[in-house]
Amino acid sequence: MAKQPRILAGETAAITGGARGIGRVTAKALLAQGMRVAIGDVDADAAVATAAELGPSAVGLPLDVTDRSSFAAFLAAAERELGPIDVLVNNAGIMPLGAFVEEDDATAHRIIDINLHGVITGMKLALPSMIARRRGHVVNIASQAGKYGFPGGATYCASKAAVINLSRAVRKELRGTGVELSLISPVAVNTELGLGLVEPRQRLFRKVEPQEVADAIVQTLRVPSFDVHVPSQLAISERVSALLPLSLQEGFSRVMKADAVLGQADSSARAGYELRAARSEPGLLDESEQRQLASSAGGPAPAEDEGAPGES
């Protein structure tokens, strides 16, 4: 017998990196389902502005996912404003690109802190109350990059691969608790994070729109599923690829230009985003870079927005 779709109206969701990109579109989609939504972002002004635009059932709050006390304060404020958290969407992420051997250590640490430790911290803070109530749903935004690994974004791919296996392990620990956990793995998404990426030859791996990711999130909240691909046909591609020797997998990747997606990205098209990603840790920028950031971005802007790939 097919599962009866869950009614989301009246429930409360908290979204990290929710001011822009996938986070913003997901907030709008959940509000359309009758949910209340807390939008957390490192750019508190943007979070407040986004919530104001989306309506009275949304609230914008400051959130630095790398700071446990900030994350705890975000969830506590969301509960005070909207009620107990039924859904946590771990969406915040950054994707600086470049050759692995040229990547500075501060950038690598920042990628792991936001993309992986932010997810770990969010789950550790949100799950206890969900388990106590025997209800709740955590959605972690991963990426197809975490399933295959692409040159030009090695540390980003590693962070998303870690989120995938973290989610698999925690899901097993949650069995029988009444709490659901889902993993959303998109290809490149048409947001700021996906600027300048090379289009692969295979249309199946085309860049998707944020709405497609938001729709997948809504669907898995209504009818829970663990491993969700965006687009959904990629589930078949993954199964087929797993049957092939690594040499054939890599050969196919080269022929389809999948290896070029991150490795040959247009650096000029990504310049503004790369600076904004660095702005998520102001200490990574010298004074001239901070001026360049302000000029290119038209003022301060956040990096904690899993726009694409998603996959982040």
The vertex-61 CA angle with 58 and 64, nearest 5°, equals: 140
- Compute the CA torsion angle 14, 40, 115, 271 (nearest 10 deg): 140
The torsion angles phi and psi of 141, rounded to 5 degrees, stand at -90, 115
- Strands 136-141 and 87-90: what pairing? parallel
**Could you confirm whether 148 is annotated as catalytic?**
no
**AA identity, residue 242:** A
CB 108 within 8 A of CB 152: no
Q: Write down the catalytic residue from 71, 156, 205, 273.
A: 156
**What span, in angstroms and rounded, lies between the C-alpha atoms of 242 and 252?**
13
CB 40 within 8 A of CB 18: yes
Which residues does the annotation mark as catalytic?
A: 156
